[in-house]
Structure 1
Amino acid sequence: MPELFNYFDHVELPTPTLGVDEVERLCTLAFGIDVVATALGSQQDQNFRLFPRDSDVPFGVLKLSNPVFSETEIRMQDEATNAVAMVEPSLRVPRVLSGPRGALWAWWDSSQGRIHARVLENISGHTLTGSRYLPPTVIERLGDLAGRVSAALGSFEHPASSRTLQWDLRHARRVIDALLPDEPDAEVRAAIDQAVSEASGALDRVESRLPLQAGHFDITDDNVLRGEGELLPDAVIDFGDVMRSWRVAEIAVTASCVLHHDGADPMSVIPAVRAFHARCPLTDDEITALWPLIIVRGATLVLSGRAQVRLDDANDYAAEALDRERRIFDAATSVPASVMTAAIRRALDPDSSAPTRAWEGAPVVTLPAETVVLDAGTVSPVNDRGAWLDPEALDRAALSTLDAGAGAVVVPAWHALLSGAPLRTPTAPATIPTGTTLWLAEPLALGRDDGEWTGGAGTLTWRCGDEVVTISGLPEGSDAALPARTRLFVQRHAAGDEPPPPRVTADLAEAWREVVGDVSDALGMAPPLPRGDDILARRHGVLAEVQEHYYDTPPRIERGWREYLIDLDGRVYLDMVNNVASVGHAHPRVADAATRQLNLLNTNSRFHYRVITEYAERIAQTLPAELDTVFFVNSGSEAADLALRLAMASTGRTDIVAMREAYHGWTFASDAVSTSIADNPNALATRPEWVHTVAAANPYRGIHRGDDAERYGPEAVAVIDHLAASGHAPAGLICETFFGNAGGVALPPGYLAQVYEAIRRHGGLAIADEVQVGFGRLGEWFWGFEQQRVVPDIVAVAKSIGAGHPIGAVITRREIADRYRTQGYFFSSTGGSPVSAAIGLAVLDVIEQEGLQQNARVVGAHLKRRLERLAESHPIVGAVHGAGLYLGVEFVRDRITLEPATDETAAICDRLLTLGVIMQPTGDYLNVLKIKPPLCVSLESVDYFVDSLDRVLTMGW
């Protein structure tokens, strides 16, 4: 057998550089095929895509192997490809093609010497190359592909598999030693030297026990393909690195390629590792080796890529990869390998996680018996009314507790800390403290004297054996005792390790805790309870399945403030969808009004009390004078239901006209007139006979578009006239004044004037559904019907009028209201209750006194302009609908056919969540972003939303 390639005999590997003309000529001479060649990238080989002359359909991929590789090694690559194809027939892999003269596999005598050439099947599709975002499902598939190939090659044997490649992670440290001295950048040398030294310590302990086998060892974003229009890859290409190495190196290589993609962090690789483990269960030693191997893989990529570019500065493929390779290394080293190993072990088998490091001996400091544990997490009253934004609020709460008699106050380690949490962050911020925060009522002497105490720069450090405890935040001169009424921070870690950061992210908190230990014992305190959370599973166990929640894996939201929602881990999300919280989450005036009224009275609305009258008067004052009579209910569904009943009672008729694709509620009557197929796929087919529909007056997507939208009005009038002529004169017409379910689409000019006139001409009533847009959301108009310059007979409103409290209202003329007596009597026990009415008054006060309608106009106009500019660079943006803070961005796959981008919209919303933005789809095809944030949303927040959306549309979802 010829001598196998040994990288260390060929550290410099310039790629072949044959010209296109020569390649095409040799294809004809050697293979008898007439082709056009286009160059493809490669680091050490030379690749071309071949097309039959005068055709744009690829024939195959020509691979010119680097001359240092022997024929035996090249044959091994093809045999490994065939082995995978046999075991995994559904996995697309590139096999050698045949031509007029047999297999397209030969040695060429070229202008650059003897070069091996073979033509492989062209596998259609697109790679994941670049730094675009990879969703967890794609990352999972990468790990699954790696596992399938590894399992398929588990028994593959070949004499050439023992060759020595630079990408064999068994030799990575030797490769690094060979390349590091020639690296000219001192910063790069130092970073790699330190990282590899630390990783080597972990590898040295287990490498002799790591299983060996043949593998692909390059299943990366460059070497997998997904079909046209497909999300998940199903093909693996480039078997050029087939060899025998550690089995775990397969997933180490695959996982490392995830780290350079947009938004990726170390925990992003977990879906891939889980999927590989499901196919090829990792041993405990392999789990220990995995993250150190990812580190040395990153180091090898950085040094090899930089060396290749210095050697071959015309190699654009290698040059373009430099930034990506450095991002891999930086991400891999951003968390200690020991922490990531603990995190991976927990992810693969939570029950197998190692216990937190035990504390030996007496406490370093013994706290007073009157120590109070202060909760500073998301649900703590300490953080009420936006206090979490005040950096001094936590200190004030602690000192107040000391003043009340506590000997010490502690905020425990490993529990989420909301105080100081940042706003609008594209990644989950570090909110979990790794140490205990401490305030003392009186100075406290230091404890154990069996270790060594050292001080400096505001920090005291105690060392004894393997333990290190640090106390930071001390003023100058505090060497003998801990000072009183001063915020101190106490941490613990193992000797020889770097101190942990003050706070870590929630997804890594338990792994950090496992590695550094719990500091509670060092203070003589019981450790805090684990951070487990089973609320979602319990919800699924007790709530009806159809009572859904946003997102498949939702954050647990436990606090709101203004336009923000905050989860249990202290991450602050920007809420761009919550029109229910109209004046902002947890508005103090609304909370105070509710609390005050609850302290006074809350009862059945049939009692006589002041606040219901005042609230009804205030609502009526916002409307035209003839709309002077108010009913109170609990929801928008009830409001629409009552509005329909009023029309029927007033006219003595039962037929109702409704617009198609609209949603009005879930009660019997409001659901009957709702025809949105997104809410009910059988909506049109299951309407009762008394419901008659007119076309959805959507100028963008409806049957009449653009200027032709003026036809909707006359056609709706014709339907109404026909009903009357056929003996079914309608009791009323119900219509949203702004087409909300479609994503805030404005009705054509004059539409409501035409249909209102027609319905009234036949003795019916015009019902305005203002549940979504009423109360200033449109900015220019307080009520949606004002935009159409009409006055309805009945107005139904809810959602925003209660700022999250269940309040609905129906407003009409006195004579219409009085006719309801023909149906009996009306009451709603809690509709308009004292608390509801007090909250409603507070909402009106806030809207008026804080200028929220004006904010909707100004901020909404700015937001719409910025959204419209996105369409200039992103073809998926079909249209931007709406006004004020009631907007919709409609996504389409084609701007001509308007094919809805439904799947893409769902994925975009999921991606926005990772960037800290709450957003959901709407519309019959769920392809429209429903943008209706609290009316207090700021310019900074809407800019963050648009910037985040632009990032998603640019970097992928």
Structure 2
Amino acid sequence: MTQTFNFFEQAALPAPEITVAQAAEYVRATYGIEGEATELGSQQDANFLVSAADAQYVLKVSNAAFTREDLAAQDLAAAHVARHEADIQVPGAVPGPDGSTVQPIAFGGRPTYARLVTFVAGDVLSDSAYLAPEIVAALGDLAARTSRALAGLGGEVPARSLQWDLRNAAEVVTRLADFVTVPGGPDAARAAASTAAKALAPYAGNLPLQVIHGDLTDDNVIATVDADGRRRPVGVIDFGDLTESWSIAELAVTCTSLLYHSPDLSTMLPAIVAYDRIRPISDDELAALGPLVVLRAAALMVSGQQQTQVDRDNRYASENLAREWAIFEQATSVPLEVLTELIRASVRPRNEGRTIDGSALLWIGDEPVVPAQLDLSTTSVDLHDGGFLLDEAEEAVAKRDESAAVAVPFLQPRLTRTRLNSFEAPASVGLGVEVFAVQELELRAPWAGVIQRHDDAVALKGRDGVTLWLSGASVDAEGALETGDALGQLTPGAALRVQLTDLETRPPFFIQASLADAWAGSCPDPTGLIDAVATPPTVDHLLERRESAFAPVQEHYFREPPQIERGWRNHLFDTEGRSYLDMVNNVSILGHGHPRLAAAVEQQWRLLNTNSRFHYRAVVEFSERLSELLPEPLDAVFLVNSGTEADDLALRLAWANTGRRDVIAVREAYHGWSDATDAISTSVADNPNALHSRPSWVHTVAAPNAYRGQYRGPDAYRYAEDAVAYINKLSPPPAAFLSESFYGNAGGMALPDGYLQAVYAAVRRAGGLCIADEVQVGYGRLGNHFWGFEQQGVVPDIVTVAKAMGNGHPLGAVITTAAIAAGYRSQGYFFSSAGGSPVSCVAGTTVLDVLRDEQLQENARVVGDHLRMRLLELADRHPIIGAVHGMGLYVGVELVRDRITLEPAAAETAAICERMRELGVIMQPTSDRLCVLKIKPPLGVTITDADFFADALDRVLTEGW
């Protein structure tokens, strides 16, 4: 077939010169459509959005280099996709007066052709700065289905030699590299393209050919906003690079465009996996995909640089320069071998790691040294009490060992490399073995080779193309060496990094965990040089085991939960060394891993742990401390294991003292899982049938929600009036009114002023008791108040508390009057097997001591005020934030789709929490509508932590989720 176009015969391809006025007039004269034209971007063509009274169109004025046949083929391809993949939206061609979809046009310069196509409604996907894994997968799915449809076109598309055909990419880079103005850019482009072309060569002849779109990028994919507020791919536009090429090139182009959306190369993997499900990728195509991504990135970058110089008025091309350079940098950020393995392993089982054997590297005299293993992982017992955050933490742990040397295993993620409050995962994985010398050691060559010296390391190039890299030792050997020859010495206290690689360049020593397996394909395990037995890391399918053995109704946070194995103060840490700011764990009120609490509990465990029917000091001291924190006459303490037990016992106290059964509860609240507490729990988020499955003795009053309830703003006082009226007419009268004293489950919302004063008075007039559920809000979380009921100016008859009491130790309490406590005698006696045990009491007393000594209630006030200020500022800029509720460190950010209708943004809230986790923040939704971010962190969070949280939320709401 004769070629209609050959890029290499063109000196340059400047875009046609046509104004918006000319475009509008052309559409009117040629198609009889009156409309306003707006310029759209294009690198080598001219595109205009034409808005008519009843529809929108796109006028596409082609570069003069392209023929009528080229353009007709684009319309043919779009129609073909529409027929075979009906749910992919594509532009439809509008015929001109002669019935043809390709019409001549002669504005500015040489005559060329134009087409009018229907506008595909939506936004281009590139308008989303962030693409969630599901969206990346959806883009891969779209690329595969487009490829499947176009495969049926056969020989109906003219042969063309395009600049964007990846079969030509290496030559494009060679020809255009000198246009690159970035320092070092021309050489970098040529080197990358040369390396990629060489890697591609063995597979190129085996790659299937077909017609491809050729530019299926985020710029040419139309997306519409889905229920979760994300732009989801629905259509494909701009078939201008249509040609026959390698089928796998379609996916390579798509993957390359994704590199701009994240600094993590693994971001593109969901697209590859999704594509493979529909268009299975052969082994040869998998091997070719990495080189093709690099070639596309290099060709894109040099082409953009050239276009801005031959077409200086092309704003579209100029604005894309930074983006294209960033894509090129990302594509070449790791050696091509690593990129290829990363891609391959996403759809094929991972290769087993290689171990290279050799003669012993470490010696003392005539004896080889086998180092003891040094554990720097997240679960290391040597890193308690935040020791992993100290300077020289690794050296300090190494010195504790009495062996001649200790070594950190190959690919072990190190907690010592974590970074607090960071949007990115740390480079925590050692791509080699690091040896810490306790005694002086001699280094000997493990094989014959030649020494090469570098700035801070030496390389011993040896057999089979494998190079040994050593840094940290004093190496005085030169030239060629034989096996066992002396290399140098390692002095006590020094650290030796040992790496192997078959790459031509030196690999980094520390890498992110997401890239560890890919790097390991080019960097064998060097354990065999210092230990006869290598213990490669094993894959533990822990989540599958959990779902098999742990009843799935006990749900976990997040779609793909990280494995959290350590906490310290206000942060949690996963097994890859990633830190997460914990903004939701109200149970750990002191923070995680508090050494004072750990020491006190350990000491008591060594002394005694039994039940409270024995006589011991701890239960007396803790009960006294609790009653001292409450106003008179609340001085009788029951100790239990949980909030559920506490609320359940409070109900039984009310029933025993009043001789009545009926209870009034507030809607949208949660109080526990026992039969009685579930009966008064009315949150449909916890139980979808909550409002329809209440027993007859449970009566509910409206949730006093001043933001979205029946009464809002200044009218919120009417909630109390309605509740009082309901109580007054209830027959039989209630035994108790039980409610949270600060509206927690609904999103950290204060009750209307005077609400509890009015309701408590009505309940007491009816002979009932007033129960304050302080399980979530008590213990200083409000900052201004130790107890939530203090904010309402009331004193309950019974107070229930749990969660924070033990900082994670199972501990709860019911505090009431002596008379009410004595009234329980009619039911027999009360006993809780573990409630009030010595260990529990010591835990509870220590928590109170730390709250006092570290002034955590005051910290909750100061940091909470600062956080609230930051969140209100975000609300001024992000319409999705409908309101900021709460006080102190009990805050709720309510997200809405519309500030007038207050439509809950539930799906968006869930997606935002997933994105926050990716950025290093633990956050979860709450309320019956699941549209409130529940912010209930440990009370030790700092101003720095609060700012990191606010910055992360700002980034998510700005970039997307």
TM-score, normalized by the shorter chain, greater than 0.5: yes
User: In structure 1, what is the equivalent of residue 940 of structure 2?
Assistant: 936
C-alpha contact (below 8 Å) 2:128/2:960 kept by paired residues = no
SS in 2 for 1:74: helix
C-alpha contact (below 8 Å) 1:258/1:264 kept by paired residues = no
- Residue identity opposite 2:306 in structure 1: A
User: In structure 2, what is the equivalent of residue 666 of structure 1?
Assistant: 673
User: In structure 2, what is the equivalent of residue 891 of structure 1?
Assistant: 895
Summarize deviations over 1:56-108 as a string: whole Å, max 9, x none. x4332211111110011111111111221221122111121347774554212
User: In structure 1, what is the equivalent of residue 50 of structure 2?
Assistant: 50
User: In structure 1, what is the equivalent of residue 481 of structure 2?
Assistant: none
- One of 638, 644, 647 as aligned partner of 2:651: 644
In structure 2, how many angstroms separate the alpha carbons of the residues matched to 1:381 and 1:793?
46
- Residue identity opposite 2:773 in structure 1: D
1:956 paired with 2:960, answer yes
User: In structure 1, what is the equivalent of residue 908 of structure 2?
Assistant: 904
In structure 1, how many angstroms separate the alpha carbons of the residues matched to 2:47 and 2:57?
11
User: In structure 1, what is the equivalent of residue 725 of structure 2?
Assistant: 718
C-alpha contact (below 8 Å) 1:731/1:763 kept by paired residues = yes
1:411 paired with 2:408, answer yes
SS in 1 for 2:93: coil
The structural deviation recorded for 1:51 is 2.4
- Residue identity opposite 2:117 in structure 1: L
1:431 paired with 2:428, answer yes
1:386 paired with 2:395, answer no
1:137 paired with 2:134, answer yes
- Residue identity opposite 2:674 in structure 1: T
User: In structure 2, what is the equivalent of residue 585 of structure 1?
Assistant: 592
In structure 1, how many angstroms separate the alpha carbons of the residues matched to 2:954 and 2:504?
41
Give the 5 Å matches for 1:835-846.
835-846=839-850
In structure 1, how many angstroms separate the alpha carbons of the residues matched to 2:737 and 2:334?
62
User: In structure 2, what is the equivalent of residue 699 of structure 1?
Assistant: 706
User: In structure 2, what is the equivalent of residue 657 of structure 1?
Assistant: 664
C-alpha contact (below 8 Å) 1:467/1:492 kept by paired residues = no
- Residue identity opposite 1:115 in structure 2: T
SS in 2 for 1:826: coil
C-alpha contact (below 8 Å) 2:16/2:108 kept by paired residues = no
User: In structure 2, what is the equivalent of residue 167 of structure 1?
Assistant: 164
- One of 624, 630, 634 as aligned partner of 1:617: 624
SS in 2 for 1:485: coil
- Residue identity opposite 2:380 in structure 1: S
- One of 570, 574, 577 as aligned partner of 1:570: 577
User: In structure 1, what is the equivalent of residue 289 of structure 2?
Assistant: 290
User: In structure 1, what is the equivalent of residue 250 of structure 2?
Assistant: 250
In structure 2, how many angstroms separate the alpha carbons of the residues matched to 1:926 and 1:497?
53
Summarize deviations over 1:738-790 as a string: whole Å, max 9, x none. 11011101111111111011111111111101011100000010000111111
User: In structure 2, what is the equivalent of residue 459 of structure 1?
Assistant: 457
C-alpha contact (below 8 Å) 2:473/2:488 kept by paired residues = no
Gaps of 5+ in 1: none
User: In structure 1, what is the equivalent of residue 694 of structure 2?
Assistant: 687
User: In structure 2, what is the equivalent of residue 125 of structure 1?
Assistant: 122
C-alpha distance 183-371 of structure 1, shift in aligned 2 (>3 A): closer
- Residue identity opposite 1:305 in structure 2: G
Calculate the TM-score normalised by the size of structure 1.
0.96
In structure 2, how many angstroms separate the alpha carbons of the residues matched to 1:933 and 1:348?
39
In structure 1, how many angstroms separate the alpha carbons of the residues matched to 2:797 and 2:597?
30
Gaps of 5+ in 2: 478-485
1:827 paired with 2:826, answer no
C-alpha contact (below 8 Å) 2:476/2:488 kept by paired residues = no
User: In structure 1, what is the equivalent of residue 801 of structure 2?
Assistant: 797
C-alpha contact (below 8 Å) 2:439/2:491 kept by paired residues = yes
User: In structure 2, what is the equivalent of residue 783 of structure 1?
Assistant: 787
- One of 491, 502, 505 as aligned partner of 2:498: 491
SS in 2 for 1:233: strand
In structure 1, how many angstroms separate the alpha carbons of the residues matched to 2:245 and 2:3?
19
The structural deviation recorded for 1:186 is 3.0
C-alpha distance 253-187 of structure 1, shift in aligned 2 (>3 A): same
In structure 2, how many angstroms separate the alpha carbons of the residues matched to 1:343 and 1:456?
29
- One of 719, 743, 746 as aligned partner of 2:747: 743
In structure 2, how many angstroms separate the alpha carbons of the residues matched to 1:763 and 1:361?
86
SS in 2 for 1:17: coil
User: In structure 2, what is the equivalent of residue 216 of structure 1?
Assistant: 213
SS in 1 for 2:416: coil
The structural deviation recorded for 1:491 is 2.8
SS in 1 for 2:693: coil
C-alpha distance 323-183 of structure 1, shift in aligned 2 (>3 A): closer
User: In structure 1, what is the equivalent of residue 817 of structure 2?
Assistant: 813
User: In structure 2, what is the equivalent of residue 469 of structure 1?
Assistant: 468
User: In structure 2, what is the equivalent of residue 349 of structure 1?
Assistant: 348
1:76 paired with 2:73, answer yes
Summarize deviations over 1:529-553 as a string: whole Å, max 9, x none. 3241211100000111210000111
In structure 1, how many angstroms separate the alpha carbons of the residues matched to 2:660 and 2:242?
79
User: In structure 1, what is the equivalent of residue 189 of structure 2?
Assistant: 192
1:12 paired with 2:12, answer yes
Give the 5 Å matches for 1:22-421.
22-52=22-52, 55=53, 57-98=54-95, 102=99, 104-130=101-127, 132-158=129-155, 160-229=157-226, 231=230, 232-261=232-261, 263-350=262-349, 353-359=350-356, 361-365=358-362, 368=368, 371-402=371-402, 406-421=403-418
The structural deviation recorded for 1:384 is 0.7
Q: Once the two structures are aligned, what percentage of the paired residues are identical?
A: 48
In structure 1, how many angstroms separate the alpha carbons of the residues matched to 2:410 and 2:953?
35
- Residue identity opposite 1:511 in structure 2: A
SS in 1 for 2:154: coil
Moved more, 521-530 or 627-636: 521-530
C-alpha contact (below 8 Å) 2:782/2:888 kept by paired residues = yes
The structural deviation recorded for 1:822 is 1.1
- Residue identity opposite 1:88 in structure 2: E
SS in 2 for 1:24: helix
Moved more, 502-511 or 764-773: 502-511
Calculate the TM-score normalised by the size of structure 2.
0.96
The structural deviation recorded for 1:394 is 2.3
The structural deviation recorded for 1:443 is 2.8
Number of aligned residue pairs: 945
SS in 1 for 2:894: strand
- Residue identity opposite 1:337 in structure 2: L
- Residue identity opposite 1:604 in structure 2: N
Summarize deviations over 1:198-246 as a string: whole Å, max 9, x none. 2222112322222211101111111111235464211111111110111
- Residue identity opposite 2:132 in structure 1: P
Summarize deviations over 1:445-471 as a string: whole Å, max 9, x none. 332362223556553432213121122
The structural deviation recorded for 1:477 is 6.8
In structure 1, how many angstroms separate the alpha carbons of the residues matched to 2:878 and 2:452?
59
The structural deviation recorded for 1:6 is 1.0
SS in 1 for 2:161: coil
CA RMSD of aligned residues (A): 1.8
C-alpha contact (below 8 Å) 1:30/1:108 kept by paired residues = no
SS in 2 for 1:154: helix
- Residue identity opposite 1:911 in structure 2: R
- Residue identity opposite 1:308 in structure 2: Q
In structure 2, how many angstroms separate the alpha carbons of the residues matched to 1:368 and 1:616?
62
In structure 2, how many angstroms separate the alpha carbons of the residues matched to 1:2 and 1:441?
74
- Residue identity opposite 1:250 in structure 2: E
User: In structure 1, what is the equivalent of residue 480 of structure 2?
Assistant: none
C-alpha contact (below 8 Å) 2:474/2:488 kept by paired residues = no
SS in 2 for 1:110: coil
User: In structure 2, what is the equivalent of residue 445 of structure 1?
Assistant: 442
The structural deviation recorded for 1:409 is 1.2
- One of 730, 733, 742 as aligned partner of 1:729: 733
C-alpha distance 626-810 of structure 1, shift in aligned 2 (>3 A): same
C-alpha contact (below 8 Å) 1:18/1:112 kept by paired residues = no
Summarize deviations over 1:466-488 as a string: whole Å, max 9, x none. 12112211258798532242332
User: In structure 2, what is the equivalent of residue 540 of structure 1?
Assistant: 547
SS in 2 for 1:470: strand
- Residue identity opposite 2:17 in structure 1: T
